[in-house]
A and B are shown apart, each in its own frame.
Chain A
Amino acid sequence: MTNDTSIKIGAPVLRWSARAHSIAEIESELARIWSGQDLTATVDGEPGRHVSARTSVMNFVVVARRPELAERCAATMQSLTGRHPSRTIVINSADPDGPSWFDARVEAHCVVPREDAPETCAETIHVTCGGESGLHLAAIATPLIVHDLPVTVWWPGEPPLAGRPARDLLAGADRLVVDASTWGGDGLARLREMADLVETTDLAVSDFALVRQSRWREAIASIFDDPDFLPYLRSLRRIAVTYSTHDATGAPGSTNMVKPVYHVGWLASRLRLSVVKPLAPVTGHGHGHAPAPAKGARGGPVRPAVSRGVAATLSDGHAEVAVVVRPVVSSTPPGTTLRVELLAERRGSELRADVTAEADTVHVRVWQDGVEAMERHFRAPRRTDVDLLAEAIESGRRDPVAVGALRSAAAIVGPAGARS
């Protein structure tokens, strides 16, 4: 047991730590944490700050398959204690084929977010288990959840969304947080599984991959704030997304494609485009144009990969919209969107938009009938897991934009195997 009472403004401090070997022991430790506490603490050497009682505004369940991932997630959660004090349950299950075992550490972290703010404390329960115990995630999390508070499940890595343990755990959750851009292969099969989950449950999903693109969406939307360009919005004829790969062949499945596909999914959902032909590898001359060179984009010069990428055909009910998602070899992290190009045609007039990533900005350029008509920059610094998690938590119920983008992305991806 630890009871450290020295506090620095803004930094979480461990105020309590105890071991437990069963759910009952955890519950008993949770009760002890707050019953025997001295409600004063030392701040910068001065005693006397009043310690507020435990605060929880939600339950946070983290399923981490590796210990280092569990530690990283717990640290992220502690950074959010001041902003979103939660009961956090970190489950790290290992060796599913071995004997069953269960070990837990119960901790209380406190933070004084500002000089004039009361201290806020929250509990973290680290559960490590092996064998069959680790398979029954819902049986571990459910008894430890503070009832009546929303439950968010953060599943870093590769969540087996179609499996029974995940379905059971998520049945008691309000929100699932994932990062689909870290999934293996092209990530698209799992994206479909996640879309199925959203269709069949009330679960809200926050995907860091989609949240990170918010500045891109803002940049693309800003083009059509201009009344001169707005009429072109319903006459989109081509969407081309270029993404980075480290694989010179650019073969389908070699690089995560969730982010570029989300761009198309978002546009398709907002513009109510239906899928005529799902994504399939481009063969022959396919959808025509080679990607425009992305010189100066994040990570310096790029060169086309051998693969011509994948293509799909959408429809706005009147005309078809060609979609190309294409890799280029770049030193930026694989799967990063480098460019989104839009082409719209209306009454013999053409609008071309080119949105590119440049260092910490998104650069928008628009040409109307070949004449440059607009140029803007949007700052888009890389956001940390803490920022992304905070935004996920703060988004309330299901975000219709996220649901629409995911649903359309899954439809564009098409049935499994269509892309190979």
Chain B
Amino acid sequence: MAEPAVKPKDAPRTMKELRLARAGKRSSRAKPVENVLREGLRLARIPDPSVMVLFGATGDLAHRKVLPALYHLWRTDLLPHEFQVLAIGRRPFDDETFRAGIQASLEKYSRILPLDAEAWRSFEERITYLRLDFEDASGFDALVTRLDSIDRDCGTRGNRMFYLATQPSQFAEIVGQLGRVGLDHERLESGWRRVVIEKPFGHDLDSAKRLNREVAKVFRESQVYRIDHYLGKETVRNLLVFRFGNGIFEPLWNRRYVDHVQITVAESIGIENRGAFYEATGASRDVLQNHLLQLVSLVAMEPPATFQANALRDEKVKVLRAISSDPLNPATDAVRGQYGPGWVAAMPVPGYREEPEVDPESETETYVAARLTIDDWRWSGVPFYVRTGKRLPKRATEIAIQYREVPHRLFKDEGVAPDANLLAIRIQPDEGIMLRFGAKVPGLRLDVRSVTMDFTYGSAFNVDSPDAYETLILDALQGDASLFTRADEVEEAWGIVDPIVNAWAEGPPDFPNYDAGTWGPAGADDLTVRDGRRWRRF
């Protein structure tokens, strides 16, 4: 796929400007004026007055994540005073009952309890409910009328963010309806229009392309915000600061010093009453295609020229292309697994096939590990081992940069040689960064032992980090797409995962092949052992 062209601000835009530029002359077009009063303001910019139209407002995602995130943004004065939430759902609620339901959810899922009564009171006043069947065209006509009335009454100035927290199968329908009634148009002085789409973006490359095409018929790419909530996590954002805000690590961030990289997204929980969803998804589509490949991109990307959304995303896409340029061999570079019964956290747990809403003969994978290679100048020959699974012994998400051994082992005769250096970036839990290095053991002998320098967020910054959804929703309201995935990123990622999933579909697996509470199938160990390496122990 062709890389999207990003035109520099001062690039010639007309034939006349092009001729002048070729002649080495400047056009008389005035330089764009900037709002210099914005420069250096430390306070987070308050988004423009706006309405968030929340589709799927009665669903689990809205109640667990989206609405609590909005409440916290409101509580901390980060939303505009002229902000409204228009909740859309199929169930017959009035405003009052819907608000009562949200309050109950906040009391359960809010990261800070008890609720701030005053903040809640002023927040709930801004929430209204509209019953709407997504297939009902007249309902969308009513939505237009309702939004116009909100603009008039609440000063939201025509700025609208459509948040699709629905089943993925409804995305195209809703976007199509929004286009039909003209809610996508950003006409002069009519305010901005943005659409936020939750993952998964398709279930394979073809469906992702189809969805992107349907969305592109209505919205421009710059209006589309595809959420992968991992990108909003504080530690993931810190990865960019760590890499590009420190001078000492980037020179060591390449094939010359790095032996291999391991990225683990381990979950101790099972499928949590999401059997139907998980049966249609599996670990490859649920985590590998998005979270894991996003982490790989962030670790492996070249420094972007600026921190602008497209500059950042251009570099991430290049990594994904470099992976897909040398396609994986599903037989040797990827391993799948499914948990059987076992023990987790001292409790017996059922196997995947015994979970509710799961086929007793299910072939859905709950574990996937892969050996990726990035075919570019920086990473050629450095394997990236990635793994994710359900019902593993503990919850842990970590990026580990394993450095090479020293070229000459000077201390080999003195006790045990130290391990090679390791840099581990813990994303959850105990967010932090650990660097392992060798140190002399005190005493007369020259024993060398591995020790760690450990930075934990909890000790250095004893503050509550915002939830990923708070970060991402605020960014979307401010029009900053840096932490959202672009259409071409999504498609490139599917291009990596599709061949694996398709190959697996051809032969029945030998499932279950790992016990709940263990670190996955034996085949996963072979991926690393074959290269003379091993998975990190947690």
Instruction: Say yes or no: B43 contacts A118, CB within 8 Å.
Output: no
A375: chain B residues at CB < 8 Å are 155
Instruction: Say yes or no: A401 contacts B39, CB within 8 Å.
Output: yes
Closest CB-CB distance, A106 to chain B, in whole Å? 23
Given the contacts A214-B43, A218-B41, A230 and B82 also touching, CB distance less than 8 Å: no
Closest CB-CB distance, A419 to chain B, in whole Å? 27
Report the stretch among B30-38, B350-358, B381-389 that lies at the interface.
B30-38
Contact-size category for B: 20 to 34
User: Within residues 82 to 103 of chain A, which ones have a CB less than 8 A from any CB in chain B?
Assistant: 82-83, 85
> Could you give, for residues 374-390 of chain A, a 1 whenever the CB lies within 8 Å of some chain B CB and a 0 otherwise?
01111111000000000
B45: chain A residues at CB < 8 Å are 218
Instruction: Say yes or no: B37 contacts A379, CB within 8 Å.
Output: no
Instruction: Say yes or no: B77 contacts A379, CB within 8 Å.
Output: yes
Instruction: Say yes or no: A376 contacts B80, CB within 8 Å.
Output: yes
Instruction: Say yes or no: A234 contacts B33, CB within 8 Å.
Output: yes
A230: chain B residues at CB < 8 Å are 33, 35
Q: A177 at the A/B interface (Cβ < 8 Å)?
A: no
> Could you give, for residues 27-59 of chain B, a 1 whenever the CB lies within 8 Å of some chain A CB and a 0 otherwise?
000000101111111110110110000000000
Given the contacts A120-B459, A214-B43, A377 and B82 also touching, CB distance less than 8 Å: yes
Q: B377 at the A/B interface (Cβ < 8 Å)?
A: no
Closest CB-CB distance, A323 to chain B, in whole Å? 16
User: Within residues 174 to 190 of chain A, which ones have a CB less than 8 A from any CB in chain B?
Assistant: none
B461: chain A residues at CB < 8 Å are 83
Contact-size category for A: 35 or more
Closest CB-CB distance, A354 to chain B, in whole Å? 16
> Could you give, for residues 438-471 of chain B, a 1 whenever the CB lies within 8 Å of some chain A CB and a 0 otherwise?
0000000000000000000011111110000000
A395: chain B residues at CB < 8 Å are 42
User: Within residues 317 to 340 of chain B, which ones have a CB less than 8 A from any CB in chain A?
Assistant: none
Closest CB-CB distance, A85 to chain B, in whole Å? 8
A-B pairs with CB below 8 Å: how many? 82
Report the stretch among A38-46, A145-153, A219-227, A274-282 that lies at the interface.
A219-227
Docked CA distance A270–B36 (Å)? 6
Instruction: Say yes or no: B463 contacts A83, CB within 8 Å.
Output: yes
User: Within residues 371 to 418 of chain A, which ones have a CB less than 8 A from any CB in chain B?
Assistant: 375-381, 391, 395, 399-401, 404
Instruction: Say yes or no: B459 contacts A215, CB within 8 Å.
Output: no
A220: chain B residues at CB < 8 Å are 37
B82's contact among A217, A376, A391, by CB below 8 Å, is which? Answer: A376
Instruction: Say yes or no: B37 contacts A217, CB within 8 Å.
Output: yes
A85: chain B residues at CB < 8 Å are 462
Looking across the interface, which residue of chain A has its beta carbon closest to that of B457?
Answer: A117
A131: chain B residues at CB < 8 Å are none
Looking across the interface, which residue of chain A has its beta carbon closest to that of B77?
Answer: A379
Docked CA distance A267–B35 (Å)? 12
Instruction: Say yes or no: B41 contacts A57, CB within 8 Å.
Output: no
Closest CB-CB distance, B116 to chain A, in whole Å? 12
Docked CA distance A182–B168 (Å)? 58
Given the contacts A225-B35, A230-B35, A233-B33, A52 and B42 also touching, CB distance less than 8 Å: no
B459: chain A residues at CB < 8 Å are 52, 55, 118, 120
B43: chain A residues at CB < 8 Å are 214-215, 217-218
B49's contact among A214, A224, A376, A380, by CB below 8 Å, is which? Answer: A376
A376's contact among B41, B81, B189, B463, by CB below 8 Å, is which? Answer: B81
Closest CB-CB distance, A54 to chain B, in whole Å? 11
Instruction: Say yes or no: B35 contacts A233, CB within 8 Å.
Output: yes
B46's contact among A52, A218, A391, by CB below 8 Å, is which? Answer: A218
Q: A157 at the A/B interface (Cβ < 8 Å)?
A: no
Instruction: Say yes or no: A401 contacts B42, CB within 8 Å.
Output: yes
Instruction: Say yes or no: B462 contacts A113, CB within 8 Å.
Output: yes
Docked CA distance A221–B40 (Å)? 11
User: Within residues 51 to 74 of chain A, which ones have a CB less than 8 A from any CB in chain B?
Assistant: 52, 55, 57
**A/B interface sample: 8 pairs, CB < 8 A:** A114-B462, A224-B38, A225-B48, A376-B49, A377-B81, A378-B80, A395-B42, A399-B40
Q: Chain A residues in contact with chain B, CB under 8 A? A: 52, 55, 57, 82-83, 85, 113-114, 116-118, 120, 214-215, 217-218, 220-222, 224-225, 228, 230-231, 233-234, 267, 270-271, 361, 375-381, 391, 395, 399-401, 404
Given contacts A82-B462, A218-B41, A399-B40, 9 further A-B contacts (CB under 8 A): A52-B459, A83-B461, A114-B464, A116-B458, A120-B459, A214-B41, A221-B37, A379-B81, A391-B42
